[in-house]
Chains A and B, each alone.
Chain A
């Protein structure tokens, strides 16, 4: 158990809908990263937050947004969902924004868009 909690574990929804994925980092960790992994694909970096502020952005679609709250949990919002958004979404946390930095991953949210 990495200490990173992601909810829900599974989510089934329809095209055009909006969903919110939640991530609770390990106690004390200030950094949160979000990744998308489609079937048989590598991990695609989406976005990184540190202590509430966005610090780095990857290939995140405009339909997707994220935020990190004062209690350090993070949410990834996906809107106008398409079939191609079906994927495993992982979040990871780390204690600080200084190298070297280890990431601790949650077990992921499996999103199915029908």
Chain B
């Protein structure tokens, strides 16, 4: 499975868009990009996933570059409840679902 690189921490003002980057330069053609978040010590929560195309759901948008070597998770209007650790994962058929250290997002009032 491809390795991912994320910034360790980011701040975002409440009400503004939070853009969380992820680098996965060794991704291969059949590997999906997934995003999860973990609020405090709760179980991680699925946010969104994609393969090639940009995706949007009720929680967030996922923008994948054309070469698929990086992606950005966008929370359009961040709230204080979005403060969490965000994990970017690349998964192929090994099913090892490896979580890295993620990005600690702090939404500021």
Residues of chain A at the chain B interface (Cβ within 8 Å): 2, 4, 31, 33, 35, 37, 42-43, 45, 48, 50, 55-56, 58, 88, 90, 92, 97, 99-108
Contacts and interface: CB of A to CB of B under 8 A. Distances in A.
Interface stretch (B16-24, B59-67, B72-80, B91-99): B91-99
Contacts, number: 63
B96 A48 contact: yes
Interface residues of B, number: 26
A106 B96 contact: no
A58 to B, nearest CB: 6
B68 interface: no
Interface in B66-109: 87, 91-102
Contacts of A101: 91, 95
A86 B92 CA distance: 31
A41 to B, nearest CB: 8
Given A43-B99, A55-B95, A100 B49 contact: yes
